Amino acid sequence: MNVLGKARRVRIYLNEDDRAGGRPLHLAVIELLRAENAQGATVLRALEGFGAGGRLHTSTLVDVVARLPLVVEWIDRPEQVERLLPRVLELVKHGLVTVDETEVLLFEPHPVRDLRPTVAAGDVMSREVDSVSPATPIREVVERMLGKTYRAVPVTEGGRPVGIISNGDLIQRAGLAVRVDLLDSLDANERKEALERLSSGTAADVMTRDPVVVAAGTPLPAVAELMARRRLKRLPVVDERGALVGMVSRLDLLRTAASGLSSTAPQAVELGLSREQPLARAMRRDVPTVHPDTPLPEVFQAIISTRLNRAFVVDADRRVVGLVSDAELIERVTPALRPGALRALMNRLPFTHPREDQVGAHTRGRTAGEVMTRAFAQVQETVPLAEGIAIMLRENQKVLAVTDAAGRLVGMVDRADLLHGLLLPRR
Domain ranges of the chain: 5-104, 121-271, 280-422
Cα separation of 423 and 253, whole Å?
A: 12
Cα separation of 58 and 396, whole Å?
A: 42
Instruction: Give pLDDT, residue 425.
Output: 64
Instruction: Give pLDDT, residue 2.
Output: 37
**Which helix or strand (DSSP H or E) is residue 326 part of?**
helix 326-331
Instruction: Give pLDDT, residue 3.
Output: 37
Between strands 56-58 and 208-209, the pairing is unpaired
CA quadruple 15, 21, 23, 25: dihedral positive or negative? negative
Neighbouring CB atoms inside 10 A of 81's CB total 19
Contacts of residue 23, defined as CB under 8 A and 6 or more positions apart, other chains included, come to: none
pLDDT in tens, the chain (427 residues): 333 567 899 999 988 888 887 788 988 898 888 767 677 789 988 766 665 455 555 555 444 445 678 899 999 878 778 888 888 998 898 789 999 998 887 765 443 333 344 678 998 898 888 899 999 999 999 988 886 766 789 999 999 999 999 988 998 888 887 788 778 777 778 788 888 888 889 999 999 999 999 999 998 888 988 988 888 999 999 999 999 999 999 988 888 877 644 333 344 444 555 667 888 888 888 899 999 999 888 888 888 777 778 899 999 999 999 999 887 777 776 666 666 667 666 666 666 554 444 545 555 667 889 889 998 999 999 998 888 988 998 888 989 999 999 999 999 999 988 888 887 665 5
Using CB atoms within 10 Å of the CB of residue 325, give its burial: 0 to 12 exposed, 13 to 18 middle, 19+ buried: buried
> Which residues share a beta bridge with 9?
75, 100
* Span 121-271 CATH architecture: Roll (3.10)
Q: Would the CATH topology of 5-104 be identical to that of 121-271?
A: no
Cα separation of 31 and 312, whole Å?
A: 41
Alpha carbon of residue 13 to chain centroid: 28
DSSP letter, residue 144: H
DSSP string of 4-37?
A: -EEEEEEEEEEETT-EETTEEHHHHHHHHHHHTT
* Span 5-104 CATH architecture: 2-Layer Sandwich (3.30)
Neighbouring CB atoms inside 10 A of 36's CB total 19
Fold adopted by 280-422: CBS-domain (3.10.580)
Between strands 19-20 and 23-24, the pairing is antiparallel
Neighbouring CB atoms inside 10 A of 88's CB total 21
Instruction: Give pLDDT, residue 63.
Output: 46
Neighbouring CB atoms inside 10 A of 276's CB total 12
Give the number of residues written for the chain.
Answer: 427
> Which residues share a beta bridge with 20?
23
CA-angle at 401, arms to 397 and 407, nearest 5°: 135
How far the first Cα of the chain sits from its last, in Å, is: 35
Instruction: Give pLDDT, residue 261.
Output: 40
